[in-house]
Amino acid sequence: MRGKRQFWIKIVAISAISFAALRCTPALTGVLINDGEAATNTRQVVLRLDVSALRASDSPTQYKASESKSFTGAVWQTYTSPNVNFTLSAGNGLKTVYVKLRNAAAQESLVRSDTIYLAETTPAKWMRAVDMSLNSSDEGYGIASTGDGAYVAGGLTIPSGGDGTSQVALVKLTANGAPTAIETFGDPTHNEILNVVRQTLDGGIIAAGGIYDGGTGNTHVFATKYTRNLDPVWFDTYPLGDLPADPPAKSGSALTSYAADVLVLASGGYIVAGTQGYNAIDASTGNMFLLRLDGDGNQVDFRTYSEAGAVRLGNGVAETNDGGLILAGQRIQGGVSQAYLIKVVASLTNRTTDLSVLWSKAVYGDLASAIVPAPDGGVVYCGFTAVGHDNLNDSFVARVTLDGVQDNAFGQAFGGGGVDRLTALAQDSDGGYVLAGSSSSYAKGSQAYLVKTDPQGMLVFFDTYGDTNTDDAKSVAVAPDGGYAMAGFTETGAGPREGDFFVVKTDSLGHTGTSIQP
């Protein structure tokens, strides 16, 4: 791939022989699957067993291997070599194999295990730069799969020859990355930006963002519904009680009120989360908000979450298993930024939503950029943090319980010596998580960045995407074929915003196997 290097990291620790292991003969001190590889595309693997025996009588005569920690259904096999063949269970995902030994006297070793990621199928792989109109400056912010196996990416476009104002842009791509439909809309006197795209229950998409009205100086949140073929269904704006605001930058990146995330409800309605009244000039004002819509885009409920003397910016929302919501974002006070969560009573099954606060608190990190539900009822969020000069721009994934207690056993930081930011998060089908953003740690310049973790938030693999120009990913989705789809920006010109939508489709191991296609 042009200008691209792949990096695979798997940290493997084979424990020292403990006194307990020496007493339990034969001693099995470690096991590696395929010599410690992080991933495989075949179910047939080799287990390398690290075995020691103090006496000849301690030598193993049998072994037992299983993906069940209790060895359910496994039988003892004759041990002839420290390299043992094993067949993983079918289905893509993270696999853990447990092994134990015993000698002729039926004395058993301790149990050891290792993990590997299985990607048995071969999903489509491609990278695409999409010019939304001739010589326009474009940037993708959201992506979702549709019910027909294709994808819709959305963001903004700044048409060539205009006054620099941005418009909403959407593109549909086939499963193999070919653009089939492009939709743009906007008022030439407005700045419009689309921040999020989600799949709806009928296989279409809902998208949301913000609009700055150059005529009145007011800003509005908008949401719009499309079919899977990009036929418009409805569009609406929500003033949210804004006061006139200073005009934002022409790029559209300083909108005063904007939607950042959309939660699709099982009832057919939507929860929109974002920021209201943000002063992008001096960061002096800003409130988190939640907006509930029915299936036709009509406003049902609205609530802002403000704090005297502090700025609160909303970046994401997740539904909890008690029927509530947790809003994630950033709190700024006295120049200090903190990742911030608000737990809200929602009553989502009712027509009237409560949206009152149960608790709010600062959590680990300087910013929470995205959030998803955790299987046990809590939430997992990602962001970045500044912890000393060496970790100034490291990203992370973290978890809190339903009561807002930080789970210090979950997650880790990611990144190298450059600027690393993870801005998007999705839960994978294997119970792990996939994150996307940008990194300058592993290649020349900044590239799009994908991180895959296990269910405990620990690194499985990462990769970067792009060429020698600036590339990034603003969103990520788990694809129906088991791979991952990202949307963002790829630089194509010398101007400050000259570029195209950057849409990346990987297999389940993060591979694309191709250069960027126009």
Residue 215, pLDDT score: 66
Residue 135, pLDDT score: 72
How far is it between the farthest Cα atoms of the chain? 89
pLDDT tens, position by position, 269-325:
999 999 988 876 677 788 999 999 999 999 998 999 999 989 999 999 999 988 889
Nearest to 127 by CA among 493, 461, 498, 464: 464
Report the length, in residues, of the chain. 518
Cis peptide before 82 (omega within 30 of 0): no
What single DSSP character describes residue 515?
P
Instruction: Kindly indicate the confidence band of residue 198, based on its pLDDT and cuts at 50, 70 and 90.
Output: very high
What distance in Å separates the CA atoms of residue 293 and residue 302, rounded to the nearest whole number?
9
Residue 391, pLDDT score: 46
Q: What is the mean pLDDT of residues 3-23?
A: 42
Is the pLDDT at 21 greater than 60? The verdict is no
Q: What is the mean pLDDT of residues 319-345?
A: 92
Instruction: Kindly indicate the confidence band of residue 517, based on its pLDDT and cuts at 50, 70 and 90.
Output: confident
Query: What pTM was estimated for this model as a whole?
Result: 0.78
Percent of the chain clearing pLDDT 70 (strictly above): 85
Instruction: Kindly indicate the confidence band of residue 7, based on its pLDDT and cuts at 50, 70 and 90.
Output: very low
Top-confidence range, 212-226, 387-401, 490-504: 212-226
SS3 341: strand
Instruction: Kindly indicate the confidence band of residue 351, based on its pLDDT and cuts at 50, 70 and 90.
Output: low
Which has more confidence, 455 or 389?
A: 455
| Tokens of residue 29, six digits | 């001190």
Is the pLDDT at 143 greater than 80? The verdict is yes
What count of other Cβ atoms lies within 10 Å of the Cβ of residue 294?
14
What count of other Cβ atoms lies within 10 Å of the Cβ of residue 18?
12
Q: What is the mean pLDDT of the chain?
A: 85
Residue 518, pLDDT score: 67
Residue 40, pLDDT score: 85
What distance in Å separates the CA atoms of residue 443 and residue 445, rounded to the nearest whole number?
6
What distance in Å separates the CA atoms of residue 70 and residue 257, rounded to the nearest whole number?
54
Using CA atoms, how far residue 21 sits from 51, 80, 100, in Å, is 11, 21, 12
83-87 sheet: strands from edge to edge? 27-33, 44-52, 83-87
Hey, what's the torsion of the CAs at 254, 255, 261, 265, to 10 degrees? 180
Contact 452, 460 (CB under 8 A): yes
SS3 406: strand
Residue 496, pLDDT score: 47
Is the pLDDT at 129 greater than 70? The verdict is yes
Positive or negative, the Cα torsion across 212, 216, 220, 223?
negative
Is the pLDDT at 463 greater than 90? The verdict is yes
The residues pairing with 397 across neighbouring beta strands, listed in sequence order, are 382, 412
112-118 sheet: strands from edge to edge? 39-40, 112-118, 93-103, 60-66, 77-78
pLDDT tens, position by position, 216-266:
667 889 999 999 999 999 999 998 764 434 333 333 344 478 999 999 998
Which has more confidence, 72 or 482?
A: 72
Is the pLDDT at 372 greater than 90? The verdict is yes
Q: What is the mean pLDDT of residues 421-446?
A: 90
Residue 387, pLDDT score: 53
Residue 56, pLDDT score: 64
Which has more confidence, 502 or 39?
A: 502
Residue 370, pLDDT score: 98
Helix (H) or strand (E) holding 221: strand 219-226
Contact 292, 353 (CB under 8 A): yes
Top-confidence range, 27-41, 44-58, 229-243, 346-360: 27-41
| Tokens of residue 169, six digits | 């842009």
Between 3-12, 54-63, 145-154, 488-497, the lowest mean confidence (pLDDT) is in: 3-12
Amino acid letter, residue 151? Y
Pairing of strands 232-238, 219-226: antiparallel
pLDDT tens, position by position, 392-407:
568 999 999 999 999 9
Is the pLDDT at 17 greater than 50? The verdict is no
Please enumerate in sequence order all residues whose Cβ is within 8 A of that of 369, keeping only pairs 6 or more positions apart, or say none: 315, 316, 328, 381, 382, 383, 384, 421, 422, 423, 424, 425, 437
Is the pLDDT at 109 greater than 80? The verdict is yes
Is the pLDDT at 469 greater than 50? The verdict is yes
Contact 493, 28 (CB under 8 A): no
Please enumerate in sequence order all residues whose Cβ is within 8 A of that of 368, keeping only pairs 6 or more positions apart, or say none: 315, 316, 328, 329, 330, 339, 340, 341, 381, 382, 383
Q: Where are the alpha helices (DSSP H) in 296-342?
A: none
Q: Is 225 exposed, middle or buried (0-12, 13-18, 19+ CB in 10 A)?
A: buried
Residue 493, pLDDT score: 57
Residue 316, pLDDT score: 97
Percent of the chain clearing pLDDT 90 (strictly above): 56
Counting other chains too, the contacts that 292-296 makes at CB distance below 8 Å and 24 or more residues apart are: 292/353, 292/355, 293/223, 293/236, 293/269, 294/268, 294/269, 295/267, 295/268, 295/269, 295/270, 296/234
Residue 269, pLDDT score: 92
Nearest to 504 by CA among 452, 459, 463, 465: 465
Please report the DSSP string for 440-494 in residue order.
Answer: SSSSSS-EEEEEEE-TTS-EEEEEEE--SS-EEEEEEEE-TTS-EEEEEEEE-SS
What distance in Å separates the CA atoms of residue 115 and residue 511, rounded to the nearest whole number?
20
